[in-house]
Amino acid sequence: MALTPAQQTVFDVLSDAEGPLSAAEVLAELKNHAKTPGIATVYRALNAGLDSGTYVAVTLPGDDTTRYEPADRGHHHHFACTQCERVIDVAGCPGRLSPLVPDGFTLTGHDLTLFGLCDVCA
Ligand SMILES: [Zn+2]
Ligand SMILES: [Zn+2]
Q: Where in the chain are the domains?
A: 5-116
Its pTM stands at: 0.89
What is the DSSP secondary-structure string of the chain? -PPPHHHHHHHHHHHHSSS-EEHHHHHHHHHHTT----HHHHHHHHHHHHHHTSEEEE--TT----EEEEGGG-S-EEEEETTT--EEEES------GGGSPTT--------EEEE--TTT-
- The domain defined by 5-116 folds into Arc Repressor Mutant, subunit A (1.10.10)
Kindly give the distance from the C-alpha atom of residue 114 to the centroid of ligand 1, in angstroms, as a whole number: 13
Instruction: Give the Å distance between the CA of 45 and the centre of ligand 1.
Output: 27
Counting ligands in written order, the one closest to the CA of 107 is 2
Note the pLDDT tens digit of each residue in 67-81: 999 999 999 999 999
65-117 tens-digit pLDDT: 999 999 999 999 999 999 999 999 999 898 889 899 999 999 999 999 999 99
pLDDT of residue 112: 93
* Nearest ligand for residue 81 CA: 1
For ligand 1, an ion, list residues with CB under 5 A: 81, 83-84, 86, 118, 120-121
pLDDT at 1: 60
